Amino acid sequence: MLKYAANLSYLYTELPLVDRFAAAAADGFRYVELHEPYSRLAAELRNAALQAHVQTVLHNTAFGDFAAGERGLAAVPGREADFEKHLHEAFVYSSQLGNRLIHVLAGVADNGSSAARATYLRNLALAATEAAKRGLTILIEPINTRDMPGYFLNTIEQAADIQDAVGQANLKILFDCYHVQIMQGDLVRRFERFRERIGHVQIASVPERHEPDTGEVNYRYVLSAVAVSGYDDYIGCEYRPLRDVHGGTTAGLGWRHTVAP
């Protein structure tokens, strides 16, 4: 059975972060995920999750200097020491929050550069090795070039190639339907082809990145195919609610009764 996780970096943003756990629980979510939890103390977030009786399942490594255009550092040559600091911080938060998945952000780097690729492989090998000691899975996510120009990883095939080069079983692909649809399409067949490599799934409408019952993707069909495939892990709800239409995150959750198997 698919398990839906509210992405608290996009949902319930009308509330402070620590209050979003309870809001998600009130709407029936048992699982949550985050982009960057680092603006709040790990213990504070852990307590919010415990009080709300929800489980955090995923967070990212830090973006770095977002205002300066940084979107992670794993593939950025010369920033290995900073990447290791971010990785250690991610492990600290994981130990407090109890999630087993960490998405390692590649960053903005030329994906045709041998130096960037070598840096990425080195940093992912380190991340996967250290994660294995802790019983964790490292995720890498292809991100579309429209939303994040210059991001190192853009397609599922590139991600699979990186997986093979690193060669560690706890390195998996984050299959974000929104990004895959924009870059490549053919969601169901592509998911089926790479099913055994996938460690997490995320959803949002395309092209606006709103609730999954809007836009060009038939999520009822896609999610049914995901469920039939035997995938029984988390589906991250990583979309921006149409507050101007619905009046808030909660009012837009009707999709769970129409498209979610």
Active-site residue numbers? 141, 238
Total domains in the fold of the chain: 1
pLDDT of 33 strictly over 80: yes
pLDDT of 245 strictly over 70: no
Q: What is the pTM of this model?
A: 0.97
Cα 163 from Cα 134, distance rounded (Å): 20
CA angle 192, 195, 197 (to 5 degrees): 145
pLDDT of 39 strictly over 70: yes
Q: For the chain, percent helix, then strand, then coil, each to nearest 5?
A: 45, 15, 40
- Read off the CATH number of the domain in which 227 is found: 3.20.20.150
pLDDT of 228 strictly over 90: yes
Cα 236 from Cα 238, distance rounded (Å): 6
C-alpha of 230 from chain center: 20
Query: CB-based contacts of 73: which residues, under 8 Å, 6+ apart?
Result: 61, 64, 79, 82, 83, 86, 105, 107, 123
pLDDT of 261 strictly over 90: no
Max CA distance (Å), the chain: 48
pLDDT of 246 strictly over 70: no
pLDDT of 148 reads 96
Cα 61 from Cα 64, distance rounded (Å): 9
As given in the structure block, the two tokens for residue 76 are 């950025």
Residues found in the chain: 261
Domain span at 200: 3-258
pLDDT of 244 reads 58
DSSP secondary structure of 51-70: HHT-EEEEEEPP--SGGGT-
Q: For residue 1, what pLDDT band results from cuts at 50, 70 and 90? A: confident
In the chain, which ranges are E strands?
3-7, 31-33, 55-60, 101-103, 137-140, 171-176, 198-203, 234-237
Mean pLDDT across the chain: 96
